[in-house]
């Protein structure tokens, strides 16, 4: 994954005019026909975001956005509707004027995606067909370097005209301090033939591309490669990221786009890649299917840290009390079976919830890494959720975000007579972290008997907070500063800081649209704390919630040696304060590999 999380952005095509004539322009033939989004459509989109907090950033794109004189107004409007980041895609020429940069930045634009087609003015200007375009773009990037709070990133389209210069492009831009990411997009022609003769064979591109990636990484930059066979990238496979932000564009664009014929490969049926776009029709027509050069990826290796320490029979999951999860109801059993039947390693966690005189212990979480589901992982997870009767609205929301999720967590809890299912998507951590909050999880929760009781929950991670800052944030979440769990949470935070000062814990805040939930999650997996270390604060929280001492002790005595996982607390959607504890992570290796094609 790169510097940015694509799921947090929406890309809006606001303009289809350009004053360069790049040889590789992929929308050159459609520019006159594509209709940019109207002002009304833009207004509706930003209002939607203000209402539902769907995206953190907006990208203005299409062709050359700086040709729109009202660009600063658009940025201001986006900022005033809840967008924390405004990005433009640009050839960078107007940025050569520092005053213009200042105007855009003052209006709220803080991310600049600049096209650099080659490593020097001669080659770049020959590709853009406009003399001086390279010097202006470079000057623009250098101007941006002088502004606090701004980041830039570049894209270099890989064509016959540029591929040999990729490493030199990195060198030429090495002095830029705010350049956080470099993209390399392997050219696709938006048709099924390479009429402009710009496609280069993978074999020819590969050594230049790898050198460029290595040099960029050595400079501390993130890298994203688009449209290159994953199997050829070796150790740089992680840099392949074909995801994009959600794109809002004239629907007629998609006809041209699909004429590329992505996802073709003779090894497709046996290859374990989940992100490769294979070959385009135009590529295969020019260079053939390269069946000997491409080599299908196998089932992903399971790293050491998810290998079970000892083989664990799934049957053990059903034994009550001493084992991971006690599946005492049909619905619990359905969930455990559905996850176990995927045939991939997973972890289980137990949990209890303290709320208003009640101690609920019938709850657990099962977690798997999506990449181990070998066949069609997204469809497979959707299938599990359908089998668990996830309501249609939630399924639609899940379907939109599943592709970019890394881990999937399946949760169950019983509260009185009610049984709830929960599915959490966990997104990848960014390669580099600043202090901005990031959406790390989205959860879909529903009452098994009353599916109209459903909710989507968002979990934003607040990086780099000290223990004191976390306590201050937690204080604000409660409606009355009269104790609640505050004092006890404070002592847990101090304990975690003392125990493992090297490993910061992760703090998240939790919100749900349409209700008053304001809560936090405190992730203590790396704290090396066990439940017994938290005896006093947890007993204090139980007392605060009027849990009979004997009832709490009976539970606690059986789980003292378990490692702590994460804590959750604050004000729940019903307006009462609550405290949840997750603990006792165990790893499981099912015997059957039902999800595998082998
Ligand atoms: S074998 Fe084909 S599908 Fe698999 S990674 Fe290589 S190009 Fe992509």
Cα separation, 286 vs 194, whole angstroms? 8
> Which atom of ligand 1 lies nearest, measured to the CA of 295?
1
Residue pair 154/182 in contact by the 8 Å Cβ criterion: yes
Cα separation, 177 vs 31, whole angstroms? 34
CB of 277 sitting under 6 A from ligand 1? no
CA 263 to ligand 1 centroid distance, Å? 9
CA 401 to ligand 1 centroid distance, Å? 24
Q: 563-592 burial, b for 16+ CB within 10 Å, e for fewer?
A: bbbbbbbbbbbeeebbbbbbbbbbbbbbee
Residue pair 439/427 in contact by the 8 Å Cβ criterion: yes
Residue pair 218/267 in contact by the 8 Å Cβ criterion: no
CB of 275 sitting under 6 A from ligand 1? no
pLDDT by residue for the chain (598 residues), tens digit each? 578 888 789 999 998 888 888 888 877 666 677 889 999 999 999 998 888 777 889 999 988 999 999 999 999 999 999 899 999 999 999 999 999 999 999 999 999 999 999 999 999 999 999 999 999 999 999 999 999 999 999 999 999 999 999 999 999 999 999 999 999 999 999 889 999 999 999 999 999 999 999 999 999 899 999 999 999 999 899 899 998 888 888 888 887 888 888 888 888 778 888 789 999 999 999 999 999 999 998 755 544 443 333 323 233 333 322 345 556 688 888 998 899 888 888 888 999 999 888 999 999 999 998 877 877 888 899 999 999 999 999 999 898 888 888 889 999 999 888 999 999 999 876 655 567 788 889 999 999 988 888 999 999 998 888 888 898 888 888 766 555 577 888 899 988 888 777 666 789 999 888 777 889 999 988 777 899 999 999 999 999 889 999 999 999 998 988 889 999 998 887 777 889 999 988 877 654 332 332 2
Look-up of token digits 């045939």: 343
Cα separation, 93 vs 64, whole angstroms? 10
CB of 126 sitting under 6 A from ligand 1? no
Give all strands (DSSP E) within 116-192, no chain letters.
Answer: 151-158, 179-186
The kind and range of the H/E element at 240 are: none
DSSP 308-361: -SS---GGGGGSTTTSS----SHHHHHHHHHHHTT-S-EEEEEEEEEETTEEE-
Which of 225, 261, 273, 275 maximizes ligand 1 atoms within 8 Å of its Cβ, making it the mutation to test the pocket? 273
CB of 294 sitting under 6 A from ligand 1? yes
> Which atom of ligand 1 lies nearest, measured to the CA of 290?
7
Residue pair 354/567 in contact by the 8 Å Cβ criterion: no
CB of 230 sitting under 6 A from ligand 1? yes
CB of 537 sitting under 6 A from ligand 1? no
CA 188 to ligand 1 centroid distance, Å? 17
CB of 278 sitting under 6 A from ligand 1? yes
CA 257 to ligand 1 centroid distance, Å? 20
CB of 35 sitting under 6 A from ligand 1? no
Count other C-beta atoms under 10 Å from residue 121's C-beta.
16
CA 308 to ligand 1 centroid distance, Å? 30
Start-end of H helices in 53-147: 71-79, 98-106, 121-128, 133-144
Nearest-Å Rg of the Cα atoms of the chain is 26
Distance of alpha carbon 431 from its chain centroid, rounded?
A: 11
Joined tokens for residue 259? 């004429």
3-state SS, residue 84: coil
Residue pair 366/336 in contact by the 8 Å Cβ criterion: yes
Joined tokens for residue 95? 């940025």
Sign of CA dihedral 327, 333, 337, 339: negative
Global model pTM greater than 0.95: no
User: Domains of the chain (ranges plus CATH)?
Assistant: 6-250 (3.20.20.70), 308-588 (no CATH)
């Amino acid at each position: 994954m790169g510097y940015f999380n694509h799921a947090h952005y929406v890309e809006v095509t606001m303009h289809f005019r350009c004053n360069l004539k790049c040889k590789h322009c992929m929308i050159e033939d459609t520019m006159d026909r594509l209709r940019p989004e109207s002002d009304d459509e833009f207004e509706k989109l930003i209002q939607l975001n203000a209402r539902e907090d769907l995206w953190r950033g907006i990208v203005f794109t299409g062709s050359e956005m700086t040709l729109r004189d009202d660009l600063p107004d658009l940025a201001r409007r986006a900022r005033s509707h809840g967008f924390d980041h405004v990005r433009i895609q640009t050839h960078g020429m107007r940025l050569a004027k520092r005053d213009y940069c200042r105007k855009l930045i003052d209006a709220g634009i803080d991310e600049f995606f600049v096209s650099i087609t080659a490593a020097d003015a001669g080659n770049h200007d020959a590709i853009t067909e406009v003399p001086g375009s390279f010097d202006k773009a470079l000057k623009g990037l250098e101007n941006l370097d002088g502004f606090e709070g701004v980041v830039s990133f570049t894209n270099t389209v890989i064509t016959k005209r540029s591929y040999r210069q990729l490493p030199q492009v990195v060198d030429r831009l090495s002095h830029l301090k705010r350049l956080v990411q470099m993209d390399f997009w392997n050219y696709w022609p938006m048709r099924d033939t390479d009429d402009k003769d710009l496609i280069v064979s993978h074999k020819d591109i590969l050594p230049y591309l790898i050198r460029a990636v290595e040099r960029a990484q050595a400079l501390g930059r993130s890298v994203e490669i688009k449209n290159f066979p994953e199997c050829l990238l070796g150790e740089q496979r992680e840099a392949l990221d074909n995801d994009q932000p959600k794109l809002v564009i004239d629907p007629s664009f998609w006809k041209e786009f699909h004429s590329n014929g992505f996802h073709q490969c003779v090894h497709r049926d046996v290859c374990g890649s989940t992100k490769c776009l294979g070959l385009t029709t135009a590529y295969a027509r020019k260079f053939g299917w390269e069946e000997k050069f491409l080599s299908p990826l196998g089932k992903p290796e399971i790293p050491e840290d998810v290998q079970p320490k000892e083989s664990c029979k799934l049957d053990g999951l059903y034994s009550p009390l001493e084992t991971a999860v006690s599946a005492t109801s049909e619905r619990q059993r359905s969930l455990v079976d559905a996850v176990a039947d995927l045939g991939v390693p997973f972890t289980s966690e137990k949990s209890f919830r303290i709320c208003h005189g009640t101690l609920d212990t019938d709850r657990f979480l099962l977690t798997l890494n999506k990449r181990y589901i070998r066949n069609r992982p997204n469809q497979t997870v959707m299938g599990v959720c359908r089998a668990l009767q996830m309501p249609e609205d939630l399924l639609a929301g899940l379907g939109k975000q599943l592709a970019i999720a890394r881990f999937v967590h399946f949760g169950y809890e019983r509260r009185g007579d009610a049984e709830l299912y929960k599915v959490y998507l966990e997104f990848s951590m960014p390669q580099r972290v600043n202090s901005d909050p990031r959406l790390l999880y989205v959860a879909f929760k529903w009452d098994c008997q009353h599916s109209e009781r459903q909710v989507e929950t968002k979990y934003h991670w607040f990086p780099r907070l000290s223990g004191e800052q976390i306590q201050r944030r937690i204080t604000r979440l409660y409606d009355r500063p009269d104790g609640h769990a505050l004092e006890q949470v404070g002592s847990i935070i101090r304990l975690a800081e003392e125990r493992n000062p090297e490993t910061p814990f992760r703090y998240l805040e939790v919100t749900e649209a349409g209700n008053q939930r304001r809560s936090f999650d405190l992730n203590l997996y790396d704290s090396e704390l066990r439940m017994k270390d938290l005896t006093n604060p947890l007993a204090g929280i139980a007392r605060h919630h009027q849990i009979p001492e004997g009832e709490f002790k009976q539970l606690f005595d059986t789980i003292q040696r378990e490692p702590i996982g994460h804590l959750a607390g604050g004000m729940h959607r019903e307006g009462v304060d609550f405290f949840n504890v997750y603990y006792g992570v165990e790893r499981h290796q099912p015997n059957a590999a039902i999800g595998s094609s082998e």
